Amino acid sequence: MPVRKVLREILSEMQSVVQDNLIGLYLYGSLAMDCYNPSSSDIDIIIVTRERLSLEQRKRVTEYLKGVCSKKSRIELSIVCEDAIRNPRYPMRVDLHFEHWGNIFENEPDKEILSNLYTAKKRGLCVWGVPRDDIFTKISAEHHLRSVMEDIQHTREYIHEKPERVGYDVTGYWILGSCRILAFLREGKVLSKLEGGRWGIANLPKEYHELIIQALSSYQEIVEPSSEWEYQELEAFADYMTNMILKESKLRKR
């Protein structure tokens, strides 16, 4: 199903369920940053509401998303109350978080959402509703950094796992994600995974270029995500990037 049609249907469903409580539907990630791959990228969506949804409303949205998701409509969607965005805390409570591969939770703190909100603030698109810059005004760079560093530290534990075991290509995600974080720390840039990989090739030591190229090839589906990674090379890169990210984050705080 074409992305435009998916978005129209999701918006229509949200308007039906949430009604006047709906403030807006916003995109972030690859679709907003013009590097979306229909067969491998997620459709990353943030829904902002005036008040928290009821249990029945969350159930209706979840069941709808389960029905619409497919290999060509890989949806990640978060529903956040306006008050939480206006007064951000780490972690932030979300009404509903839905990921196509099965990670779903309701009315719980989420450490990653602040990064997604910051990305939406900087490079997101408003599909419908109140303009982006009128909603995502309070999300700080510090909240974004704390969120992405938490994620990169957590996912490093799984960089040798097969995609079919964890639901996505953690290895490629970690390689390109760490490049994005370092680019943000050094230059304040909010990059897509594709842009992050290219930044890494332009700015990191040559010994890691082939690994980044392999991650980019996996991301762009030039090779299979399950392609073998060289264990020692991957560990050396992970150690280097972890140390550089920690060093640069300490410098930023001074």
Residue 93 belongs to domain with CATH number: 3.30.460.10
pLDDT given at position 162: 85
For residues 97 and 80, give the distance between their C-alpha atoms in angstroms, rounded to a whole number.
Answer: 9
> In which domain, by residue range, is 182 found?
143-253
Higher pLDDT pick, 248 / 163: 248
Maximum separation of any 2 CA atoms in the chain, in Å = 55
| Number of structural domains found in the chain | 2
Out of 121, 139, 157, a domain closes at: 139
Whether the pLDDT of residue 80 is over 60: the answer is: yes
Whether the pLDDT of residue 1 is over 70: the answer is: no
Out of 139, 165, 188, a domain closes at: 139
Task: State the pLDDT confidence band at 226, using cuts at 50, 70 and 90.
Answer: low
User: Model confidence over 17-68: pLDDT tens digits?
Assistant: 999 999 999 999 999 999 998 877 899 999 999 999 999 999 999 999 999 9
Q: Which residues pair with 70 in a beta bridge?
A: 73
CB 211, CB 234: distance < 8 Å: yes
DSSP symbol at 190: -
Task: State the pLDDT confidence band at 227, using cuts at 50, 70 and 90.
Answer: low
Q: What percent of the chain has pLDDT over 70?
A: 96
Residues 6 or more apart in contact with residue 78 via CB below 8 angstroms: 45, 46, 47, 94, 96, 97, 98, 110, 113, 116
Mean pLDDT along residues 191-216: 97
- Phi and psi angles of residue 106, each rounded to the nearest 5 degrees, phi first: -130, 140
Two tokens, residue 23: 């403030």
pLDDT given at position 189: 96
Shared domain for 246 and 156, answered yes or no, is yes
For residues 143 and 244, give the distance between their C-alpha atoms in angstroms, rounded to a whole number.
Answer: 19
